[in-house]
Structure 1
Amino acid sequence: MLSNVDVQTDRLLLARPKLRDVPELFGFLGDQHAMQYTHVDKDMASCRRRIAVHEWRRRRDRFAPWAIRLKGQSEIIGWGGLYDDPFDPGWGPELAFFFHPKVWGQGYGAELALAALVVADTEVQLPVLSAFAHPENTGSNRLLEKVGFQAEHHVARMNRILYRRKRPVPAGN
């Protein structure tokens, strides 16, 4: 289940985004409300660049964010997964998730996070993952704690809480 191929969960299809997906992704990645606690793409060209750079990094790192769809549907409802942020380097591999507001609160973030953690632990074998959440983004903070991340400290320059999760030690080791 390497992250450079499609992954399925109970309700979601996680697939490599294509450049033709950029207009649909920009529909929420460029929306001030949807991205109120994080980076907002200022225009379609910025969104295209973000997707293209992450896909280039997928070839090197063996992981990058997926386009997220409900199984059996063509509409993209989110973007996220594992990545090593080329636009804010130095934090190491991270888990991130961004969803269209119309699907907030339906558990898709946790479903994506758990699938990404399986890839991180078993396929890519990342020893530590980071994640960030704005202090006021209670949903994201709860989700990260629910899937095993521990809050470390507040990063003032970003106004984000830094979370970390160590790869579990396999039983018998």
Structure 2
Amino acid sequence: MIRIETERLIIRPFTEDDIPALYTIFSDSETMHYYPAPFSYEKVEDWVKRNQLRYQEDGFGLWAVCLKGHNELIGDCGLVSQVVDGIREVEIGYHIHKTHWSKGYATEAAKACRDYGFHQLNINKLMSIIDPRNEPSIRVAEKIGFTKEKDVFIFHKNHEIYSTLKDERYK
């Protein structure tokens, strides 16, 4: 089982016990502003199950982001296989509870997942699919070394792809 530790965070697979805490994040309209709608409790349950299936099928997925020392679940971050313009790529995705915004947790978690993807999984390119209005998410992508690659129409709306290749910077 994966367990990534950073200075302030533990990143680990989701369990069913995480669903209530995750629901407080995914049911919040402000947090889910760039999604079609906040998640119902049932959708959060399905989302956790889908990620658990990804762990088995892909060897990765979105993982729980917890504060070290408290074990408080504050969000998710991880790697997801996506098809963009007909090409299978690996995305870094992240959500952090709004009470923990602007503290650097999303950047810290995304950087750890980037390094895990490059070094443990030997992935050569990572990307993020971002709504062009989601400036905080764009800033996280840029802080972990991603640059805008292109505009795409995916998930029924326009998005921007931010990406980076594995290179000397990430050793």
Report whether the alignment pairs 1:82 with 2:79.
yes
Amino acid at match of 2:77: G
Q: How many residues align?
A: 166
- Alignment root-mean-square deviation, CA: 2.1
Which residue is 2:160 aligned to?
161
Q: Where do 1:1-173 residues align within 5 Å?
A: 4-38=1-35, 40-85=37-82, 91-156=88-153, 157-168=156-167
How far apart, CA to CA, are the structure 2 residues paired with 1:71 and 1:42? 26
Structure 1 consecutive aligned stretches of length 4 or more whose deviation exceeds 4 Å? none
Per mean C-alpha deviation after superposition, the further-off stretch among 33-42 and 67-76 is 33-42
Partner AA of 1:117 in structure 2 = R
Counterparts in 2 of 1:39 and 1:21: CA distance versus 1, 3 Å: farther
Identity %: 26
TM-score when normalising by structure 1: 0.87
Letter in 2 for 1:163: Y
- Uncovered stretches (5+) of structure 1, i.e. residues with no partner: none
Q: What do the CA deviations read for 1:30-80 (whole angstroms, capped 9, x no partner)?
A: 211111123545311111111111111111211111111110113210111
Structure 2: gaps spanning 5 or more residues? none
Structure 1 residue 160, shift from structure 2 partner: 1.7
SS at match of 2:157: coil
Q: Provide the C-alpha distance between the structure 2 equivalents of 1:10 and 1:146, rounded to a whole number of angstroms.
A: 17
Tell me the TM-score normalised to structure 2 length.
0.88
Q: Which structure shows the higher strand fraction?
A: 2
